[in-house]
């Protein structure tokens, strides 16, 4: 199975924790997964540019979004011997943000065809919405 799992929701709702657990579960069943965290990319850019991590910077934000999307695109286009699930961790607060990843999955032909059951492939793009912390 190849697909993209979007983790969407409010800040602090547990998306990153859910992403880490999903990454572990996917790897435990023998599939390949890659966790792409927007916050991690944004933090890395701020460290590299010696910027205050507590201050919002629109240029850093835009650059982090571009890098995250490019990482997803490069994984989609790469040839993987195993199954691959990309876990994208961001709040995706606008529908248009989620639509970008749907189109990316479609354009990169991330397909799910149940083995031997479905003659017609369909696109796999899952979204997991976190509205409150998972431990509540």
pLDDT of residue 97: 86
- Asked whether residue 136 is domain-assigned, the answer is no
**Over the stretch 61-111, which tens digit does the pLDDT of each residue have?**
999 999 999 998 888 877 665 678 889 998 888 888 888 888 887 777 765
The pTM (predicted TM-score) of the whole model is 0.77
Report how far residue 85's alpha carbon sits from residue 100's, in angstroms, rounded to the nearest whole number.
17
> Residue 122: beta bridge partners?
112
Q: Is 9 exposed, middle or buried (0-12, 13-18, 19+ CB in 10 A)?
A: buried
- What share of the chain in percent tops pLDDT 70? 76
Strand-pair category, 2-9 with 32-37: unpaired
Q: Indicate whether 135 belongs to any domain.
A: no
Closest CA to 2 of 47, 39, 25, 34: 34
Tokens 């354009």: give the residue. 107
Rounded to an integer, what distance in angstroms lies between the CA atom of residue 22 and that of residue 27? Answer: 8
* Domain membership flag for residue 79: yes
Total residue length of the chain: 136
Residue 56 included in any domain: yes
Q: Is the predicted pLDDT of residue 132 greater than 60, yes or no?
A: no
Report residue 127's pLDDT band, with 50, 70 and 90 as the boundaries: low
Task: Provide the residue range defining the domain that includes 17.
Answer: 2-130
Tally of domains within the chain: 1
Query: Which CATH number belongs to the domain containing residue 110 in this structure?
Result: 3.40.50.300
**What are the tens digits of pLDDT across the range 12-43?**
888 898 899 889 988 988 888 899 999 999 99
């Amino acid at each position: 199975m190849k697909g993209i799992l979007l983790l969407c929701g409010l800040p602090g709702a547990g998306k990153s924790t859910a992403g880490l657990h999903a990454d572990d579960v996917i790897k435990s069943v023998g599939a390949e997964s890659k966790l792409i965290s927007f916050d991690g990319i944004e933090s890395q850019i701020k460290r590299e540019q010696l910027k205050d991590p507590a201050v919002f910077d629109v240029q850093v934000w835009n650059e982090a979004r571009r890098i995250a999307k490019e990482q997803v695109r490069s994984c989609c286009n790469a040839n993987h011997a195993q199954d691959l699930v990309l876990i994208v961790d961001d709040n995706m607060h606008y529908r248009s943000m989620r639509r970008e990843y749907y189109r990316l999955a479609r354009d990169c032909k991330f397909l799910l065809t149940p083995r031997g059951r479905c003659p017609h492939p369909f696109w796999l793009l899952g979204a997991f919405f976190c509205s409150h912390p998972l431990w509540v």
